[in-house]
Structure formats: C-alpha cells, structure tokens
A and B are shown apart, each in its own frame.
Chain A
Amino acid sequence: MTEFSATDALSALSHTLAETAARSGGSVVAVNARSRRPASGVHWRAGVVVTAEHLLPREEDILVTLADGAVRPAQLAGRDPGTDLAVLRVAGEAPPVAALGDAAHLQPATLALALARPGQDLQASFGLISAVLGPWRTWRGGQIDRQVRLDLALYPGFSGGALVDAAGRTLGIVTAGLSRSGAIAVPVETVERVVDQLLARGRIARGYLGVGMQPVRLPTAFASTLGLAGEGGVIVVSLEAEGPAARSGVLIGDILVSLDGVAVGDTEDVLALLGPERIGRAVSAEVVRGGKRATITITIGERPGRDGR
C-alpha cells in the first residue's frame, strides 16, 4: 500500500463519519425541561422522542429543539428510571426519525459515534462499542436486554443521544446514568420495549410482593438438615398490610429460599423474578418458618406508581 492511498483511506473514513453525523444528527434533538442541565433526545418514531430519564427533572413545560432549530412543546408519555429512558410526544411536523439498527449490528469493536444536541448545535464523540454482554439488571432496577459498553466520551448533555454506527444506523440510546465507570448504550430492542409500554400505559409495570427483605445466610448444617440446595435466603423484615405477600399468609421472620422454583439468596434475586410477566400469576414461594420448610402460594401484584397509580 502506498503512503498516498493509505492517507486517502483516513480521509475517506473522515468523510464517512462527517456524512454520518450530519445525516443521523437530523433525528437528534435537544430536550429542555427548564433545567440547567440540558439533555439530548432521539426522534425514535414519528412524533415520539426518547430521552434520558435522569436528566428530566420535571414533567411539564418540556421543550424539544429540532435539528432545524424549531422549538416544539412536548408531553411526557412516561418515564422508566430503571432503564433511564423517558418518552415524549411531540406534535406537528418533525424531522426524520432515526434509522434503527437491529441486534445483528450491535457487535463489539464496531466504530461508533455518540450524537447529541445539548443545545442548538449537534455534538459528537467517536470511539468503539467495546463490549456487548448479556442481559443485566441496572443498579436502578431496570431490565436491559444486553449490556453495551462503549469506549467513547459522553460530554455534558450527551445522555439521551444516539449511538450510531458508521453506516448511520442508530443502535441505542447513550447514557452516563447507568454506570459510574463508563458510557453505556441502551440497545434498540430494550428501547422499543420500553417505548411500547410507556406509550400504552405511561409506566413500566413491575411485580410486587409488598415485603421488606434482608439477605441471610443459613448455617450449613441447618440448610442440609432441611434439604435446601443453597445456604442463602432473604428474611422478611417488614410487610405491607394488604400487600400480595401479606394476603397470602407470609409473616415477618419468614426466610424466603425460593420463588417460582428459582432459589433466591439475595434481594436482587427476588427483584429479578418480579418482571411484568409474573404480575397476576400465582407462584409458589418456599420459606423457612420456625425451623421448618413451608410452601406458600403468592399472587404477584403490581408495584404501585409514585403517585399511587
């Protein structure tokens, strides 16, 4: 390879990145909720903007600035702190919607841009998708289909912006709100699921037991006497009156060792079993009560919203 053509290759890549930023940046908007901290958003479907939940301090008087500079009022359709996504409805003519990629495009070592609009102007950062891992529960309690780690900088106001590959496909929503150690993208499949639920119901339904729990470790001899597979469990330390667990006969002091056939050793294990798919289902809960094993059937409830909905 001659020096000349190699240098041209760099210029060609540079040109591609600039074209991609300009084209895909057309669906990246600014979200202003009267905060000093601006946020970015992506025009995800016609009239629907996805943004970062943690940068949306208020639910009214939200304005969206489009790529052409037009400012539009937006209504909050719903917010999901667990996945750090919020969904807005924007009326009127809108810019192009993002060209969404699918799971096959989400590969490690893919060159990528984060496109954001923390104000009037488009901003970008450049790097890599550094890892694509399996499903995970965020520290905020949301279920994300795949953990997408990015090696690129997220500048102030970049959260809610688009992760875009060199072909201009939007592969997710970038956020600094789900990890202290680096940039994360919420992948398209998770965004689609959350958008569907927020547009339909205004919230993400989560299962609910109505108990306060603490992890406990059972003595090995005791666990084996009882014939338990593991030595861990969670002890019920508080009980919501008339909550699903209380109605099913759970008592304070019960040690939950399995739920719906899955062993639980920590409160995280229990929360992971309380996805929307179990709401309304009667599941068996194995507990240790008074030194003996007992099985209780609990009908999983739905967690009340912040405003009691």
Chain B
Amino acid sequence: MILPMLEGVALPLIRATVLVRSGNRGAGAGIVWQPGGLVITCAHVVQSEATTVELFDGRRYEARLVGRDRRCDLAALAVEADDLSAAAPGTSTGLRVGELVVAVGHPLGVPHALGLGIVQAQGNGEWLRADVRLAPGNSGGPLADSRGRVVGVNAMVVSGLALAVPVETVERFVARIGRAPSGREAA
C-alpha cells in the first residue's frame, strides 16, 4: 500500500527510474530524461561498454554511451525507444532546508525502492545535500521535490549524508552532449 500523499509523487518518479547494468560491480539507477530514449545516470555507474537499461515495466535495452563527465559524475545513455515515461525536471536553486525530498533507486538490489527525507543544508552549487537514506544501487537515480520534480541525481553518501548532482548541472550536461558528436566524451 502506498501512503496516499506520496502516491501521486512516487508513481511517475518510479516509472521514470531505470536499472542500469554495466560491468560486474553491481547495478545502479538511471533517470529517463527524454521520452525518445535519453537516460541520465552517474558516470561511476557506467563501468563497461556493454551497458543495459531495464525499465520499470521490465523492458530491457542495450544502451549506447553518448556522453560522460567524470568531474560532475554524470553519464548519458541512449536506448532505441521513443515512448518512454520521462521524469519531470524541477529546479534545485530555490530548495530550502527542511523541504521534503524523495529518492528512487535500487539500494542493495531492492528494485525501485522509495526513500523519503529532507533537504539537509543549503547546497553549494556543486552538490545538493539530502537527509535521505541511500545505499549502493541508488547512484544515478532521481532525487525529487515534494511535487515529484527531479532536483538532482543521487551520486554518493558521505558520513550518512546523501549528495546529489543538481538538476541544473544535468541540464547543462545534456545541452553539451546535444552539441557534441555522438559517442564522444563531453568535457
């Protein structure tokens, strides 16, 4: 059973969260960024050339790496599909300490697990700080605000604190790979 107040927020977010398998160090998460097949994840999730993306509904695709920026820990994958359920992007700049956030991922292999928390501190532009419990398998998954709009990409845990790449950084990254020749590093 889903808490009614979470349902409208969680379901679209869960549908837009994918499982990314790459290499043999366990799976990560990803976010459907465009219905036409663009998936955003963390650079450290993409370990090998052979990467697969599995949707919430079970459909599975071979993914092609179309951009990677290790400095901000982002990677873009393309899959051959044009009807994907994409996440709704929000903004992270107006977030206030104490605002609710929702994380979706596959912590320790638990598929499409939902986490609830708050903005832990004012971000510094480079990272969003969230008081939400993450584990390996959450990397690359969405951090969303109380309306389900993506504000960041979960990237790492430091002293129990979740750090996420702000959505603004993701949008700049996506704009860069749009201009870069396909398959190259966008740096």
Q: Encode B6-27 as 1/0 by CB contact (under 8 A) with A.
A: 1111000000000000000000
Q: Are A156 and B159 in contact, with the CB atoms below 8 A? A: yes
Inter-chain CA distance A19–B99, complex, in Å, is: 9
A125 touches B131 (CB 8 A): yes
A interface size (C-beta, 8 A): 29
Q: Which residues of A contact B50 (CB under 8 A)?
A: none
A21:B147 contact, CB within 8 angstroms = no
Most chain A CB atoms below 10 A, which of B9, B98, B117, B145 = B98
Range for the number of chain B residues in contact with chain A: 20 to 34
* Known contacts A18-B96, A22-B96: A125-B118 contact under CB 8 Å: yes
Which of A2-10, A227-235, A244-252 contacts its partner? Answer: A2-10
> Are A124 and B159 within 8 A (Cβ)?
no
Q: A10-B146, A11-B147 are in contact. Are A17 and B98 (CB under 8 A)?
A: yes
Complex CA gap A22/B159 in Å reads 24
Partner among A3, A11, A121, A126 whose Cβ is within 8 Å of the Cβ of B98: A126
Give complex CA distance A86, B5 in Å. Answer: 41
Main SS at interface, chain B: mixed
**When chains A and B are docked, how far (Å) is the Cα of A117 from the Cα of B138?**
28
In the docked arrangement, what's the CA distance between A152 and B159, Å? Answer: 14
The answer for the CA separation of A153 and B134 in the assembled complex, in Å, is 12
Query: Is the CB–CB distance between A22 and B97 below 8 Å?
Result: yes
19 pairs of residues in contact across A and B, judged by CB atoms under 8 Å: A7-B7, A9-B4, A10-B6, A10-B9, A10-B146, A13-B5, A13-B100, A15-B99, A18-B96, A21-B98, A122-B97, A122-B121, A123-B129, A124-B121, A152-B131, A153-B161, A155-B120, A155-B131, A156-B159
